[in-house]
Every structure is written in structure tokens, then in C-alpha cells.
């Protein structure tokens, strides 16, 4: 199912919660919406679901205008942050709830198939309350998928879970959604989580969408400083001025950026943490290091300028300096 | 040896639940120690026992050699910051931070002086007269930290201090807290293994009320003592195999081992290298995700799915993979099966 959101606005009193938002979700796509709390993402989700009516604008499912359709007529599967399973039914009965209501004969097959997804050995009598919260959330998703919805809406489904559980579950959720091919909208405030699960992402701020793109596009081609620092957590933001030919000067350093700006203009460079390539020409003193597993976060001093970098841990073992190059494609240039 | 805290054989039960089982460890003066574990592993209970808010069923706590197991919380030289750091809402920043010193017998002037010193240390100079509700989440966090510091404890106990904050602020603040607490003895409890590894001098990994590993982060990450610890500290591929003749094999890499029979081979995704070499085993790229600064691939090699990290975008459908024997971990096959052995909750 293709979802079209066109010029949607919603105001609560003086607050414009959703401000002229338009986007399209392709059939079978996992579309992410990310923003800080209060950015309007939950209101937008409620409008798509039919829980709230927009003040103006339209919602289409395929080519059908559903703007005035009620929630139940839109056939939407929900997964919320707080797990809402039927606790008087077994885990399996929860998954089979919608197929049973429809009186389907082959529900056993469908349930078996979904259970395979969840990768759990649940007995027929396992109740939701006996399960961990992560597992309950997987059952919620399986139940939502089994209802064969037009659209799946996931609102912070992994919030509140332990970091390590979240980082394994996010890929499991993606597998489950992609295997059935249902169109999904996934809302969170966690940029790592959204990059891991979504095909494309919309970043919202103060009711507006600032940028839509793939995780890679938002990370390496942010339209402004807000997106640059939002996607990726940390980012080096440095004042520089243009020397022409895509070259920029910061202190004594001359760096090549991802695009050209007229000579002499002041710019701001957003240098991503993974821009630092070993075996390069700049000598960098390591003045701080944080081991994070595959990568080590470093504070580097290059010619008296401090940079934050993330490099593969094994390349920076037991050394107090590294020689690096800075990848021009990972230096975003903003005009000032 | 300069042990400041010794936790000896602590056990604690709540009804039917054994929250802590025979937990023992030491903390040295000036050490920055993380206890990292899943939710409900008993880590907060342990911290409360050290703070004196809970009594253990068994075991003892020593600070600087003195048994304090029966000492009331307010007489212990510890500063404890609970998960909900609950500032007094009707008190200003200054009054919040002064509270501890006054409670511990300092006169008003001395308490103000102490409070001001630590308010400045946490970067809130100028905010002394503000009320908690006028501050952001991150600032409230710092007030809570100043409040703990102001009693000048020998050990600082932090229970998930960043859990209330959003992801971006969390990363920023955890580095700041480490700087503020530099040189102090700190025991910090969290479920965030990445944050813990990045700041810890020493890491204590707990699982279901027990300590399952103690060591520095790099040791535990690269040479984990169990499947559980290997998996808990970061993504890892586990492949079932059989060792014989002193070797196990993964792809075309032979690894020597003294194990015999069923084993589990562990290899981190960043240690599987994509090479331009036709003689290396070929895999089919089933999935490719950009996960912020690097690519995560799922590669099918001879029927085995391997997660592989790459710094560059891979555009081909097939890749050659190489594994170096020194990056390979070999574990005994767990009697309960891999899934149960690494189960996180």
C-alpha cells in the first residue's frame, strides 16, 4: 500500500503541531520519522492513523482519499511503546487473534510462520506476562502483521529496552516487516535505531519536515547543521573560509570539502566522525580515547585544532599518534 | 593494593526472587568502575546495599578495611545518586546542594561554600537561585551530581544516571560526568554496554544476580570468557562447529585450539574483512544497511549467514571474505544451546 500525506496541518490552540507536511511512503517501504519530543511526530502519526483529523490536507492510501475515514476503516496495525497484548489470551492466541476473528482456516499455518519469525520456542500455554518485554513486543508486531493491515504504525516500539536488546531487536523487527512486505511507518527519537530499520527517514522539527532521505543521505548530505548533528550523534562543526576549488582553511589547516564555495566566503564545515582515514598526511596526536568495541572514539589534535573521530579500534591500539587524511566526501559545507 | 571498597559474598533475596547470589568484588582508590547488566540483574539492588539503603541477607561490605555492613546510610562515606535523582522541587539549586553537607553536620556558611564549589565544578555557576523546574533535564542531572559531590564521599555510586535523557544528550553528558569525576572513586551502574566500555577503568558484567566477568573493557571485548559476555558486549557471529586434531575451521581459516568436539566459533563483524582476492571464500550479500558511519552486511557464505561491518559501501552482490586466525574465538558448545547461553533478559 502506497501512503501519500499531502499538505497536512494541525493546530492545537496557538501551537502548530504539524505544519504543512507532505511526503509519500512507497509500497513495502519502512519509512522512519524522527525528531525530538514535541516535534509533532506523534500528532502526525495520529493523523495518518485516523485518530486525529487534520485541519487541512489529505491522506491517501494508494489512490483512495482516506482523510475522512475512521480509524477502523483504515485497517492499520499498531505497535506502541507500552505493550498492549491481551493478557487473558496466550501468546499464540494473541498472534492468531485477527485471523481467528476472520474465521480463517489456515490460521495455524500463518501462526506457525509468524512463530518462526519470532524465533522463540513458546509453548501453547505461554501467557504474555511470562515473557520478557522484548519478546512481548515481538508478539505485538506478529499480532499486528497477522491482522494483514494496509499499513503498520510503530511508535517507539523499542523505547525503554536495554541498549543491547534494542540493538539486536531492531534488525529482527526489520526482518519480520520486510519478509511480509507490509508498508510501515516507524517513529522514534533514536537516530541509531531509525538508521538501522528505515529505508528512508523524515526528520521533523517544530512541526515541519526538514529533510527526507536514506540513512546514508541524511548522514553525509544533511541540509543544515541541525540534521548534521542529529544524525550521527556527534559531529565536528568548525568555522572556516573558502579558498576556492573546494578547499577550506581552518587555522593553519587546508581541507578539501564536498563542494566548492566562492573564494573568501566564510563557511561552516560539518566533519563526520568517520571522515578520518588512517595512513594519511596529517599528524594527529591522540589526546583522549574511548573504546566502544568495533570503533574507538578519539579526540585528535591536528595542528592545534581539536577533532572528534571514530576509527576502527584495532587501528589505534597502543599508539599516541596517527597519520590521517580527512575524506572530502564526509566534510559537509554550509554557507554562513 | 589500595582497596577502598570490598564487597564480600553478598546475597539478597526478595520473596521467591534471588536478586543477588554471592557477589564479591573490589574497587581501588581512584578507579572508575562500571557494573553493566540487563534489567533486573540485581545491579541496582547491589548499589543500594553498598549505600546502606538495603541490608544484605548474607555477606559484608568494607570501606577502607572497615566493616560497614551494619552502618546506617548517613554515616557511610558514600555518595549515592539514585535512578530518579529526585531533586527537592521547592528548594533552589544552592539549597539542594547544601542539603547534604548540613545534614552531615556542617554549619551554614561552610555548607554554602562547599555547595558553591561543586555547583561551579558541574558548570552551573550563576544558576544557584534557580529551581529545578527551571532547568533542563541535563542541568538537573548536574545538580544531582553536585549534590552527591558536596558531601565529599570516598565513593560515588551512580545508578543509571543518564537513563532519563535522550540519546544525543546521553552521549554528551556521559563524557562530561567522567571529566567532572576525574580522580574520584566511582561505581556506576548501567545497561548500556557501549557507554560503559567507553569510560570504564574496570567493567563488572552481571547476569541474573551473579557476576559473570570482571576486567578492562578491551580484554572482555576481545577475549571474553563466555558466549554470554562476548554477545553482551557487542555484535558477534557465532558458528557451530566441531574441533578435531587441534583445529577448528571457519571459511578457509584454520584456527588451532585445545578443545575437542562440538564448539562455538565467535568472530566479530569488524574482524571479517572484505578483500579483493578471488582465492578467498565467496559470499552473497543478502542485506546491506548503513548504520551511521559504517555499513552492516549480511553475507551468506556456504549456507552460513555472517554479519560483516564495512567502512565503505559495497556495491557488488558477491564479496570475498577473509578471517585472520588471531581474531577467532573458540568456546565450548554450551549444554543449554547457544540461544539460551546468550539470552539477554
Task: Grade residue A45 by pLDDT with cuts at 50, 70 and 90.
Answer: very high
DSSP B212-227: EEEE-HHHHHHS-SSH
Question: Region A78-102: what's the mean pLDDT?
Answer: 84
Per residue in B4-26, pLDDT (tens digit) is 999 999 999 999 999 999 999 99
The closest alpha carbon to B7, from B45, B76, B57, B60, belongs to B60
Q: What was the pLDDT predicted at B171?
A: 79
Give the residues across from A202 on adjacent strands: A33, A212
Task: Grade residue A11 by pLDDT with cuts at 50, 70 and 90.
Answer: very high
List of chain B residues whose C-beta atoms are within 8 Å of the C-beta of residue A37:
166
Q: What was the pLDDT predicted at B26?
A: 97
Cβ of A164 and B193 within 8 Å? yes
Cβ of B233 and A290 within 8 Å? no
Distance of CA B129 to the CA centre of its chain: 35
Residue B340: strand, helix, or coil: helix
Residues forming CATH 3.40.50.300 domain(s) in chain B: 3-229
Domain B236-342: assigned CATH number = 2.40.50.140
Cβ of B232 and A134 within 8 Å? no
User: What CA dihedral angle connects B143, B149, B150 and B154, to 10 degrees?
Assistant: 160
Instruction: Return mean pLDDT, chain A.
Output: 91
**Chain B nearest-CA residue for A215:** B290
Q: What is the ipTM of this complex?
A: 0.90
Contact of B44 with B58, CB cutoff 8 Å: no
List of chain B residues whose C-beta atoms are within 8 Å of the C-beta of residue A189:
166-167
Contact of B306 with B266, CB cutoff 8 Å: no
What is the torsional sign of CA B163, B165, B166, B167? negative
Closest CA–CA distance from residue B112 to any residue of chain A (Å): 34
Judging by DSSP bridges, how do beta strands A3-12 and A15-25 pair with one another?
A: antiparallel
Give the residues across from B250 on adjacent strands: B253
Burial status of residue B40 (CB atoms within 10 A of its CB: 0-12, 13-18, 19 or more): middle
The closest alpha carbon to A73, from A59, A54, A89, belongs to A59
Which cell numbers in the block locate residue A281? 598526511
**Chain A nearest-CA residue for B231:** A164
Q: What was the pLDDT predicted at A105?
A: 61
Cβ of A196 and B293 within 8 Å? no
Distances, alpha carbon A240 to alpha carbons A219, A258, A276, B46, in Å: 21, 14, 18, 50
Q: What is the pTM of this model?
A: 0.91
Interface probe for B, chosen from A175, A291, A308 (most Cβ of B below 10 Å), is A291
Three-state SS for chain A is: CCEEEEEEEEEECCEEEEEEEEEEECCCCEEEEECCCCCCHHHHHHHHHCCCCCCEEEEEECCEECCCCCHHHHCEEEECCCCCCCCCCCHHHHHCHHHHHCCCCCHHHHHHHHHHHHCCCCCCCCCHHHCCHHHHHHHHHHHHHHCCCCEEEEECCCCCCCHHHHHHHHHHHHHHHHHHCCEEEEEECCHHHHHHHCCEEEEEECCEEEEEECHHHHHHCCCCHHHHHHCCCCCEEEEEEEEECCEEEECCEEEECCCCCCCCCEEEEEECHHHEEEEEEEEEEEEEEEECCCEEEEEEEECCEEEEEEEEHHHCCCCCEEEEEECHHHEEEEEC
Closest CA–CA distance from residue A152 to any residue of chain B (Å): 21
Per residue in B49-82, pLDDT (tens digit) is 999 999 999 999 999 999 999 999 988 999 999 8
- The sheet that has B58-63: what strands, in order across it? B17-28, B3-14, B58-63, B66-67
Cβ of B218 and A291 within 8 Å? yes
CA angle B255, B256, B259 (to 5 degrees): 115
CA angle B28, B31, B36 (to 5 degrees): 105
Q: What was the pLDDT predicted at A38?
A: 85
Range scoring the smallest mean pLDDT among A133-142, A181-190, B117-126, B244-253: A133-142
Contact of B185 with B26, CB cutoff 8 Å: no
Per residue in B317-326, pLDDT (tens digit) is 999 999 999 9
Q: What was the pLDDT predicted at B129?
A: 95
Burial status of residue A312 (CB atoms within 10 A of its CB: 0-12, 13-18, 19 or more): middle
Range scoring the smallest mean pLDDT among A293-302, A321-330, B165-174: B165-174
Cβ of A312 and B313 within 8 Å? no
Q: What was the pLDDT predicted at A10?
A: 96
**Which one of B39, B198, B232 has the shortest CB-CB distance to A297?**
B198
What is the torsional sign of CA B167, B168, B171, B174? negative
Contact of B200 with B217, CB cutoff 8 Å: yes
In angstroms, how far is the first alpha carbon of chain B from the final one?
Answer: 35
A191 touches chain B (CB under 8 A): yes
Per residue in A23-39, pLDDT (tens digit) is 999 999 999 999 988 89
**What number of C-beta contacts closer than 8 Å exist between A and B?**
106
**Chain B nearest-CA residue for A133:** B345
Cβ of B198 and A290 within 8 Å? yes
Judging by DSSP bridges, how do beta strands B247-250 and B253-256 pair with one another?
A: antiparallel
Residues forming CATH 2.40.50.140 domain(s) in chain B: 236-342
Q: What was the pLDDT predicted at A118?
A: 74
**Chain A nearest-CA residue for B289:** A196
Distance of CA B15 to the CA centre of its chain: 28
Which cell numbers in the block locate residue B103? 545534614
**Chain A nearest-CA residue for B308:** A294
List of chain A residues whose C-beta atoms are within 8 Å of the C-beta of residue B198:
290-292, 297
Cβ of B293 and A310 within 8 Å? yes
Q: What was the pLDDT predicted at B267?
A: 98
Contact of B233 with B193, CB cutoff 8 Å: yes
Per residue in B182-238, pLDDT (tens digit) is 999 999 999 999 999 999 999 999 999 999 999 999 999 999 999 999 999 999 999
Question: Torsions phi, psi of A127, nearest 5?
Answer: -95, 150
Q: At what angle do helices B137-149 and B167-180 cross, to 10 degrees?
A: 20
CATH number assigned to the domain with residue range B3-229, chosen from the 4 options 3.20.20.10, 3.40.50.300, 3.40.50.150, 3.90.230.10: 3.40.50.300
Domains of chain A, CATH where assigned: 3-230 (3.40.50.300), 236-335 (no CATH)
The percent of chain B in helix, strand and coil, each rounded to the nearest 5, is 30, 35, 35
- The sheet that has B304-310: what strands, in order across it? B272-275, B318-323, B282-290, B295-301, B304-310
- Chain B positions touching chain A (beta carbons under 8 Å): 38-39, 166-168, 171-172, 175, 191-195, 197-199, 217-218, 221, 232-235, 268-270, 289-294, 296, 309, 311, 313, 339, 344-345
Task: Grade residue A327 by pLDDT with cuts at 50, 70 and 90.
Answer: very high
How many other CB atoms are found less than 10 A from the CB of residue B278? 7
Show Cβ contacts of residue B97 under 8 Å, excluding neighbours closer than 6 positions: B114, B115, B118, B119, B143, B146, B147, B150
Interface probe for B, chosen from A176, A226, A228, A293 (most Cβ of B below 10 Å), is A293
Per residue in B80-135, pLDDT (tens digit) is 998 887 799 999 999 999 999 998 889 999 999 999 999 999 999 999 999 999 99
**Which one of B175, B194, B293 has the shortest CB-CB distance to A272?**
B293
Contact of B69 with B91, CB cutoff 8 Å: no
Question: Region A193-199: what's the mean pLDDT?
Answer: 95
Task: Grade residue A102 by pLDDT with cuts at 50, 70 and 90.
Answer: confident
Which cell numbers in the block locate residue B299? 553475507
Give the residues across from A77 on adjacent strands: A152
Give the residues across from A244 on adjacent strands: A247
Q: What percent of chain A has pLDDT over 70?
A: 97
Question: Region B265-272: what's the mean pLDDT?
Answer: 98
Q: What was the pLDDT predicted at A62?
A: 94
List of chain B residues whose C-beta atoms are within 8 Å of the C-beta of residue A233:
167-168, 171, 292
Euclidean distance between CA atoms B300 and B293, whole angstroms: 23
Which cell numbers in the block locate residue B161? 544516571
Asked if the model's pLDDT at residue A57 lies above 80, the reply is yes
Question: Region B173-190: what's the mean pLDDT?
Answer: 92
Amino acid at each position: 500500500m502506497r501512503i501519500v500525506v499531502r499538505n497536512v496541518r494541525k493546530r492545537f490552540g496557538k501551537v502548530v503541531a504539524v505544519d504543512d507536511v507532505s511526503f509519500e511512503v512507497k509500497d513495502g517501504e519502512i519509512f522512519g520519522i524522527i525528531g525530538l519530543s514535541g516535534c509533532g511526530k506523534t500528532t502526525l502519526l495520529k493523523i495518518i492513523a485516523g485518530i486525529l483529523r487534520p485541519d487541512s490536507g489529505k491522506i491517501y492510501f494508494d489512490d483512495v482519499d482516506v482523510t475522512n475515514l475512521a480509524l477502523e476503516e483504515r485497517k492499520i496495525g499498531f505497535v506502541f511503546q507500552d505493550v498492549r497484548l491481551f493478557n487473558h489470551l496466550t501468546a499464540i492466541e494473541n498472534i492468531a487473534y485477527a485471523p481467528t476473528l476472520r474465521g480463517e482456516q489456515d490460521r495455524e499455518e500463518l501462526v506457525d510462520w509468524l512463530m518462526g519469525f519470532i524465533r522463540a520456542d513458546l509453548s501453547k500455554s505461554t501467557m504474555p506476562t511470562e515473557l520478557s518485554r522484548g519478546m512481548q513486543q515481538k508478539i505485538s508486531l506478529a499480532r499486528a502483521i497477522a491482522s494483514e493491515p494496509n499499513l503498520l504504525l510503530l511508535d517507539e516500539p523499542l523505547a525503554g529496552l536495554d541498549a543491547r536488546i534494542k540493538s539486536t531487536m531492531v534488525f529482527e523487527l526489520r526482518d519480520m516487516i520486510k519478509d511480509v512486505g507490509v508498508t510501515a511507518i516507524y517513529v522514534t527519537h533514536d537516530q541509531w535505531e531509525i538508521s538501522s530499520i528505515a529505508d528512508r527517514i523524515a526528520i521533523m522539527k517544530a512541526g515541519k519536515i526538514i529533510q527526507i532521505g536514506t540513512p546514508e543521505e541524511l548522514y553525509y548530505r544533511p541540509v543544515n547543521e541541525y540534521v548534521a548533528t542529529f544524525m550521527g550523534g556527534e559531529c565536528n562543526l568548525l568555522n572556516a573560509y573558502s579558498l576556492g576549488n573546494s578547499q577550506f582553511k581552518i587555522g593553519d589547516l587546508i581541507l578539501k570539502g564536498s563542494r566548492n564555495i566562492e573564494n573568501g566566503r566564510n563557511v561552516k564545515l560539518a566533519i563526520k566522525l568517520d571522515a578520518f582515514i588512517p595512513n594519511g598526511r596529517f599528524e594527529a596526536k591522540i589526546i583522549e580515547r574511548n573504546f566502544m568495541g568495533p570503533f574507538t572514539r578519539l579526540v585528535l589534535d591536528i595542528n592545534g585544532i581539536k577533532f572528534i573521530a571514530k576509527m576502527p579500534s584495532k587501528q589505534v591500539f597502543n599508539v599516541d599518534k596517527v597519520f590521517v587524511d580527512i575524506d572530502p566526501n564526509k566534510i559537509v559545507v554550509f554557507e554562513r | 593494593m589500595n582497596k577502598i571498597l570490598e564487597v564480600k559474598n553478598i546475597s539478597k533475596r526478595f520473596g521467591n526472587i534471588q536478586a543477588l547470589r554471592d557477589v564479591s568484588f573490589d574497587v581501588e582508590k581512584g578507579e572508575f568502575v562500571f557494573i553493566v547488566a540487563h534489567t533486573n540483574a540485581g545491579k541496582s539492588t547491589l548499589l543500594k546495599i553498598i549505600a546502606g539503603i538495603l541490608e544484605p541477607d548474607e555477606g559484608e561490605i568494607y570501606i577502607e578495611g572497615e566493616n560497614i555492613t551494619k552502618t546506617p546510610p548517613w554515616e557511610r562515606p558514600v555518595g549515592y545518586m539514585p535512578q530518579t535523582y529526585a531533586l527537592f522541587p521547592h528548594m533552589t539549586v544552592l539549597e539542594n546542594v547544601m542539603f547534604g553537607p548540613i545534614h552531615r553536620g556542617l554549619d551554614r556558611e561552610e555548607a554554602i561554600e562547599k555547595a558553591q564549589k561543586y555547583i561551579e565544578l558541574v558548570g552551573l555557576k550563576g544558576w544557584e537561585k534557580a529551581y529545578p523546574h527551571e532547568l533542563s533535564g541535563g542541568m538537573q542531572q548536574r545538580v544531582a551530581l553536585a549534590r552527591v559531590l558536596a558531601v565529599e564521599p570516598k565513593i560515588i555510586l551512580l545508578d543509571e544516571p543518564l537513563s532519563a535523557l535522550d540519546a544525543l544528550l546521553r552521549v554528551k553528558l556521559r563524557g562530561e560526568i567522567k571529566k567532572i569525576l576525574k580522580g574520584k572513586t566511582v561505581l556506576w551502574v548501567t545497561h548500556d554496554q557501549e557507554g560503559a566500555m567507553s569510560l570504564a577503568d574496570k567493567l563488572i558484567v552481571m547476569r541474573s544476580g551473579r557476576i559473570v566477568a570482571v576486567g578492562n573493557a578491551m580484554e572482555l571485548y576481545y577475549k571474553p570468557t563466555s558466549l554470554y559476555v562476548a554477545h553482551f558486549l557487542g555484535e558477534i557471529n557465532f558458528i557451530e562447529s566441531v574441533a578435531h586434531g587441534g583445529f577448528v575451521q571457519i571459511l578457509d581459516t584454520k584456527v588451532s585450539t585445545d578443545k575437542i568436539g562440538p564448539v562455538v566459533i565467535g568472530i566479530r563483524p569488524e574482524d571479517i574483512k572484505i578483500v579483493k582476492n578471488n582465492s578467498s571464500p565467496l559470499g552473497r550479500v543478502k542485506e546491506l544497511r548503513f548504520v551511521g558511519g559504517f555499513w552492516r552486511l549480511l553475507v551468506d557464505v556456504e549456507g552460513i549467514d555472517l554479519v560483516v561491518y564495512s567502512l565503505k559501501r559495497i556495491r557488488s552482490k558477491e564479496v570475498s571474505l577473509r578471517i585472520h586466525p588471531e581474531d577467532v574465538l573458540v568456546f565450548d558448545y554450551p549444554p543449554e544451546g547457544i540461544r539460551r547461553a546468550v539470552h539477554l533478559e
